[in-house]
């Protein structure tokens, strides 16, 4: 059956974009034919994938109580933030199609923090790859934050991403102390009175 009412109800509850694509494909199939309808459905799916990748989810994170857990401040009202620290999570690969969204999202939060901001922690655990445009975006971010007297720490960056940053030379002006296993470790290190020597070592063996 080409038209499943049960599936339509399910999509209405879970994803209205998918429902719209289903209806468009159904109408195209009725009016143009099966092959044309399927082709249009595939095309719409590709367009949606590209669109979603250009504006992925991102958010400010806050600490839950005294724990080491950080969550979306818009979902967890009890999540606490600090004036001088911004924790930002970007839930996608970082590449040419979404770098503008990345910068505009983080810049808006930096502006909200104002002059009290001293540290930005980028939760990179969901960033599974970075292309050359993404590398340049991070270079510009480090430069712009530095001019404001703000440091940038990376938390949870996976090995391939760390290696890419190393090969691209983005880490030349940074140190091993800019990379941490998780957000809690980054903030703890920032607040620590004794910071390790800022001598850089190979990223592959870093975290």
Q: Mind giving me the DSSP string for 146-187?
A: HHTT-EEEEES--HHHHHHHHHHTTTTTS-GGGEESSHHHHH
Strand partners, 70: 63
Residue 204 is predicted with a pLDDT of 36
Q: Which residues pair with 72 in a beta bridge?
A: 61
Low-confidence ranges of the chain (pLDDT < 70): 1-4, 173-177, 193-207
What percentage of the chain has pLDDT greater than the value 70?
A: 88
Q: What does the pLDDT read at residue 174?
A: 64
d(CA 71, CA 116) in angstroms, rounded, equals 22
What backbone phi and psi angles, to 5 degrees, belong to 44? -60, -40
pLDDT of residue 13: 77
Predicted TM-score (pTM) of the model is 0.78
pLDDT of amino acid 205: 36
Query: How would CATH label the architecture of 55-205?
Result: 2-Layer Sandwich (3.30)
Domain ranges of the chain: 5-53, 55-205
pLDDT at 176: 54
Q: Name the token pair of 86.
A: 């911004």
pLDDT at 197: 44
């Amino acid at each position: 059956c080409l038209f499943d009412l049960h599936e339509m109800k399910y999509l209405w509850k879970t994803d209205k974009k998918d429902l719209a694509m289903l209806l468009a494909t159904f109408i195209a199939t009725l009016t143009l034919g099966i092959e044309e309808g399927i082709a249009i459905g595939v095309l719409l799916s590709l367009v949606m994938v590209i669109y979603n990748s250009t504006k992925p989810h991102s958010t400010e994170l806050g600490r839950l109580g005294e724990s080491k857990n950080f969550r979306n401040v818009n979902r967890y009202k009890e999540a606490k933030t600090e004036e001088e620290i911004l924790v930002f999570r970007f839930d996608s690969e970082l590449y040419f199609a979404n770098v503008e969204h990345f910068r505009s999202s983080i810049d808006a939060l930096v502006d909200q923090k104002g002059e009290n901001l001293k540290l930005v922690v980028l939760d990179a655990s969901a960033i599974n790859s970075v292309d050359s445009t993404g590398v340049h975006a991070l270079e510009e971010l480090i430069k712009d934050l530095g001019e404001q007297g703000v440091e940038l720490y990376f938390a949870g960056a996976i090995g391939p991403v760390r290696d890419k940053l190393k090969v691209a030379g983005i880490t030349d002006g940074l140190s091993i102390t800019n990379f941490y296993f998780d957000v809690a470790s980054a903030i703890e290190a920032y607040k620590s009175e004794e910071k390790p020597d800022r001598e850089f070592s190979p990223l592959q063996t870093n975290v």
